[in-house]
Amino acid sequence: MFTSHIGPEQRDEALKSLATDTFDVLVIGGGVTGVGAALDAASRGLKVALVDASDLASGTSSRSSKLIHGGLRYLEQYDFKLVREALHERELMVSSLAPHLVKPLAFLYPLHEKVRERTYVGAGLALYDALRGFQRALPGHKHISQKKIAEIAPSLRPDIVTGAIKYFDAQVDDARHTMMIARTAVRHGAVIATNVRVESLVKEGKRVLGVKARDTETGKLITIKATATVMCAGIWSDELHESFGLKAGYNVTMSKGVHIVLPKSAIKSKEGIILKTAVSVLFLIPWADKWIVGTTDTPYTGDRRNPLAEREDVEYIINEANKVLKPKLKIEDVIGVYAGLRPLVANKKDSSTTKLSREHTVDRSAPGFVSIAGGKYTTYRVMGKDVIDLAGVELRRIVADSVTEKLPIVGADGYVALTQQAERISEESGLSAASVIHLLNRYGSLISELLEIIKNDPKLAKPLTKDLPYLKAEIYYAASHEGARSVDDVISRRTRLAFEAPNSAMDLATDVATIIAPVLGWTPKQKKDSVSAYIDIAEREIEAIEQALASA
């Protein structure tokens, strides 16, 4: 408690605790909902553990659109409650909960008619702004003329775009944000261990008293005792319910969301762009010196572990974007593609399940066992609160109310003041001002831990690669403080090198392994195996991308 480190020593202690202690709440699943639930429970004073079969955010929570938003399209469906809830969460994250991680981002909504459409869309965005209430961390919408559009977004076709409305949502590195929520939970006493796969439930009669789980690194089987077991398994929910012999009050279907990554030069615009399509919306999102464009929304029944983009996905994204862009995007512009799976929840007709919103559902399928499914990234905190409220009933005692609405994520405390001191930090540390700002926007006030690492080993102040801002110290820190256990963890989630660097960062895999090997105590064989495992993952994804692009 009181330290947020998730490193090798912490994992060893966590495994001992899992095997010997009895917990109030055990959370299965290290995506954003799971870590949000763990933080909610720990900050209520409950004794909490969380396990995940892989890495934190290894599934859906690292493959989103990287947006924190109210869901503009839900206004057309008259789901004002959901939009209001999401906008409230957005304002909290930008202003107080995670200002170092969640940043305002402007979008242009292109207009094709001069009067009727501007009136209709303007009214919708006025309502979008109004639903925020009085707490407003982001500016309101603004009407933009066709002449101004030519200055802001030269890539928007002047022959069909008559103007635009500018509005704000926010952007986040989803995997980093998820990991930082986990670290906040650890700081408040949660016991967290990754690479621990739950294999079965421990029962007394019908009541669930915990789980049997396997440490996949050693093969050791652990019995974890808990009064309430909370499953936040997303797309794995149906499979796990079945393997546990439980019948939930809902089913989860999967929807595939694909994004393409483009160089900054492919689209000339100072702001993001949102396009309404026949089935949903398409976002053109600035991401450092690149663009992320997506997403698709198609039913998926394939391998949960390895969702890949297909020809139709890439074609759809490029074709929809090209309706308003000039010059048009070309296949050869695409430098990366990633696919994620959304868990869409549907309640069973004969179920007594509580459907708390259009987006997520909580369920008690056995005494001592509750679960949650569905939802959207932006409302993770509400989902964590809802599932712990239900789990608290299992404890048969008074449980404190949730306090996460007022609980900043680690690194938020002092962040704003530190940004005003960036020049001084640069002078004292010897790092460039650009590197200091980069670190502040990834670690917030935890930058002091990075600076200490660099002070102890100045060689780690150097960039990992000349084309991207990551320092070698960040790679070391990913293993020492952020729970990374493999080359894949570092390249795919602690950094975003997997889609930011050329060749899916395969050329950097050995350098990454060399930095983290001493931290993790690897033998030469373990180091080689981790590099090989990442290259296998990257090669599969590159092959799938090449196939999709070659035939698109």
Sequence-distant (6+) residues with CB within 8 A of 129 are 136, 140, 141, 167
Q: State the CB neighbour count (10 A cutoff) for residue 69.
A: 24
Q: Is the separation of the CB atoms in 38 and 407 below 8 Å?
A: no
Q: State the CB neighbour count (10 A cutoff) for residue 225.
A: 17
Whole-number pLDDT of residue 26: 98
**What's the CA gap between 150 and 154, in Å, rounded?**
5
Phi, psi of 493 (to 5 degrees): -130, -45
**What's the CA gap between 7 and 356, in Å, rounded?**
36
Sequence-distant (6+) residues with CB within 8 A of 384 are 33, 36, 37, 38, 39, 40, 402, 404
pLDDT tens string 428-456: 999 999 999 999 999 999 999 999 999 99
Residue whose C-alpha is closest to residue 72's, from 143, 166, 160: 166
Residue whose C-alpha is closest to residue 128's, from 118, 139, 115: 139
Three-state DSSP at 26 gives strand
**What's the CA gap between 528 and 550, in Å, rounded?**
32
**What's the CA gap between 439 and 451, in Å, rounded?**
10
pLDDT tens string 169-215: 999 999 999 999 999 999 999 999 999 999 999 999 999 999 999 99
Q: Is the separation of the CB atoms in 145 and 163 below 8 Å?
A: yes
Whole-number pLDDT of residue 357: 44
The one-letter code for the residue type at 396 is R
pTM above 0.75, yes or no: yes
Whole-number pLDDT of residue 355: 42
**What's the CA gap between 381 and 519, in Å, rounded?**
32
Phi, psi of 263 (to 5 degrees): -70, 155
Residue bearing tokens 């997520």: 360
The one-letter code for the residue type at 327 is P
What distances in angstroms separate CA 267 from CA 38, 41, 156, 291, one per listed residue?
A: 40, 44, 9, 8
DSSP assignments along 283-345, one per residue: EEEEETTEEEEE---EEE-S-TT-----HHHHHHHHHHHHTTBSSPP-GGG--EEEEEEEEEE
Whole-number pLDDT of residue 545: 79
Whole-number pLDDT of residue 350: 58
Separation of first and last alpha carbons in the chain: 52
Whole-number pLDDT of residue 352: 46
Q: Checking DSSP bridges between strand 22-28 and strand 221-231, what pairing results, if any?
A: parallel
Averaged pLDDT, groups of 10, the chain, 552 residues long: 91 98 98 98 98 96 94 81 92 96 97 87 90 80 94 96 95 98 98 98 97 98 98 96 94 92 96 90 94 92 86 92 95 89 80 52 96 94 98 96 98 97 97 97 98 98 96 98 98 96 95 98 98 95 80 56
**Residue 161 CA to its chain's centroid (Å):** 33
Which domains are assigned to the chain? 8-61+176-249+348-406 (3.50.50.60), 86-170+254-342 (3.30.9.10), 415-550 (1.10.8)
- Name the token pair of 67: 């947006």
Whole-number pLDDT of residue 551: 59
